[in-house]
């Protein structure tokens, strides 16, 4: 009778351990799926970051080009203005232009 009780206790422990192992395996599988999903999201985020970095670099280059063109345009206008001012001064019209409020 004691053997039967011991065997029953062992069977109970065995099934309890089997249940614990099954739960642990299910938890491990769920965590593995969550990890794979997280890694997939990280990969998507890294690709998006790379695309954004490329776009940012292109925009910075374009902004630099536009700034240089604008600066060159302002320089050209300043030179034209200085030339016109010099012509007006040499022609004697500078005083008339200043007095009329056009300068």
Give pLDDT < 70 ranges for the chain.
1-2, 4-9, 94-103
**What does the pLDDT read at residue 45?**
98
Buried b (16+ CB within 10 A) or exposed e, 12-22: eeeeeeeeeee
Considering the entire predicted model, what is its pTM?
0.56
pLDDT tens-place string over residues 43-55: 999 999 999 999 9
Answer whether 82's CB lies under 8 Å from 90's CB: no
Report the alpha-carbon distance of residue 27 to residue 19 in Å, rounded: 12
């Amino acid at each position: 009778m004691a053997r039967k009780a011991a065997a029953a206790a062992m069977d109970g422990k065995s099934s309890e351990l089997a249940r614990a192992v099954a739960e642990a395996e299910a938890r491990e599988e769920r965590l593995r799926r969550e990890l794979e999903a997280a890694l997939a999201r990280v990969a998507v985020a890294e690709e998006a970051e790379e695309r954004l970095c490329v776009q940012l670099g292109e925009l910075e280059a374009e902004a630099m080009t536009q700034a240089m063109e604008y600066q060159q345009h302002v320089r050209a206008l300043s030179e034209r203005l200085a030339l016109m001012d010099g012509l007006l001064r040499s022609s004697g019209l500078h005083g008339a232009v200043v007095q009329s409020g056009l300068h």
